[in-house]
Amino acid sequence: MRDIGKSFPGVRALEGVSLTLYAGEVLAVVGENGAGKSTLMKILAGAHPADAGEIFVDGRRVAIETPRAAEDLGIGMIYQEFNLVPALNAIDNIVLGNEPVRGVFIDERAARDRATAVFAELGIVLPLDTEVSHLSVAQQQMVEVAKILSRHARIIVMDEPTAALTERETDRLFEIIKRLKAGGAGILYISHRMEELPRIADRVAVLRDGRLVESRAAADFPPEDVIRAMVGRRLEAHFPALPAVKADARVMLDVHDLRRAPAVNGVSFAVRAGEIVGLAGLVGAGRTEIVRAIAGADVPQEGAIEVGGRAIRIRNPSDAIACGIAFITEDRKAQGLVLGMSVRENITLAHLRDYVDRDLLIDAKREEAAASESIAELRIRTPSPEQLVRNLSGGTQQKVVLAKWLLGEAQVFLFDEPTRGIDVGAKSEIYFLMVKLAERGAAIVMVSSELPEVLGMSHRILVVRGGRIVLELPRERATPDAVIAAAAGAAA
């Protein structure tokens, strides 16, 4: 790709970006949200045409105007949200749009042979006849890989492929990427995760504000340098210092023998005022389900919950909110925000009743003042409270979710993957906010799949496996090895 440029109304998304991808290598493209990674990817995929610049494949100048053209050139995309039809099985998904036919019917046997051949090549075993919606995220991803390979893709673009994978699944994915490399494919690997780069990338290219700022061999591009190139300034310590929990701090949240089959099987723990407790574990261990049950998002079947020493009963989210529990969900677009509403409307949504006059009409002035105050306090980067949340970046959206929950008098905060998919700068700000909440005496539970985050941001770490707490470690004694071993089971 040479001198690629792309403008959107009011934004230059990409400016003069030139990248070269060789056969048999992994080129990692990193950058903060809004740096231009997705735009670059969409140009390659034929979803958006480039405004300027040229693209060469095998030395031949090409125009990629449609997704079909990209496919014909051997470019295959693996998006974060997969492009699979959930109700079809793996075989049907692989041959979709390309079905081998005998007369007017699909040749089922040829389809199966084609799918089996690709999976054999990749060394993957998975149930071919199961609807893909019943497969795990990692398996679905494998189906995606197989799908694009069956179309003879030689240029493979992967967008955050490990975002939803466990450590072990990530290892398997990396194995497969190595096989693809050996087979002569070039892989463009888009990622947020610094720690992956030395393991998988041959070269690393850093985008910032739509420009290519640096590109080096992965071997002599240490993560610190990568981060510096990404943010354009030297980062201070990644995590803020945690204030010590006061010796006489009272228990704010007490959970006893919480159960909700099949994911939560008897969980007990307590969190004191000013304390941050991290829930670590593999994907599917039941961490999200634990916080969902406390927040009333799913109704617990058994167990007792006390907030501030008072036993409470939670049958739905509004019960939990009334008891001072705030739940910051892992998927902000699907669960945290109404994207078509303004920043103001989203911020006040959970506490709208506080801005009502004479029990009837919303007091627009007071509502707006509250929203503006939150925006200023959290430094939410929006041109105005009336901006639609849809138009904001991921990190800014996450701050809107936080603003919504900070508006009430919540004393217990449940964070589920609070920094997933947001850039380094916004991450720091969210950590800082968590610390501020702890200083004010809130009790915080944080679920996170990023080990450094759990280790860096928790006073205490609880490792969850099979819906139970299998290990409790104070921050000082918590090591990555200990946590991973407990999360994966003693045998591992």
Binding site for other proteins (CB under 8 A): 9, 295, 297, 316-318, 320-322, 327, 329, 334-341, 344-345, 349-350, 352-353, 356, 360-362, 368-369, 372-373, 375-377, 379, 383-387, 404
Distance CA 171, CA 150 (A): 23
Least CB distance to other proteins at residue 341 (A): 6
Least CB distance to other proteins at residue 355 (A): 8
Least CB distance to other proteins at residue 349 (A): 5
Residue count of the chain? 492
- Of 300 and 336, CB closest to other proteins: 336
Cα 483–Cα 485–Cα 488 angle in degrees, nearest 5: 105
- Of 197 and 291, CB closest to other proteins: 291
- Of 251 and 341, CB closest to other proteins: 341
In angstroms, how far is the first alpha carbon of the chain from the final one?
Answer: 44
Instruction: Provide the token pair at 314.
Output: 């939670």
Least CB distance to other proteins at residue 120 (A): 40
- Of 39 and 191, CB closest to other proteins: 39
Least CB distance to other proteins at residue 9 (A): 6
Least CB distance to other proteins at residue 366 (A): 13
Least CB distance to other proteins at residue 346 (A): 8
- Of 104 and 361, CB closest to other proteins: 361
CA distances from 327 to 156, 179, 374, 402, 467 (A): 38, 42, 18, 9, 19
Least CB distance to other proteins at residue 441 (A): 22
Distance CA 215, CA 226 (A): 9
Instruction: Provide the token pair at 147.
Output: 């799908």
Distance CA 163, CA 254 (A): 31
Mapped onto helix, strand or coil, the DSSP state of residue 220 is helix
- Of 146 and 337, CB closest to other proteins: 337
- Of 195 and 377, CB closest to other proteins: 377
3-state helix, strand, coil in the chain (%, to 5): 40, 25, 35
Q: Which residues contact 425 (CB under 8 A, 6 or more apart)?
A: 32, 231, 395
H helix count then E strand count, the chain: 16, 24
- Of 195 and 386, CB closest to other proteins: 386
Q: Which of 179, 193, 43 is nearest to 120 (CA)?
A: 179
Least CB distance to other proteins at residue 240 (A): 20
How many Cβ atoms are within 10 Å of 180's Cβ, its own excluded? Answer: 22
Measured in degrees and rounded to the nearest 5, phi and psi for residue 113 equal -60, -45
Distance CA 324, CA 65 (A): 52
- Of 6 and 465, CB closest to other proteins: 6
Distance CA 128, CA 114 (A): 12
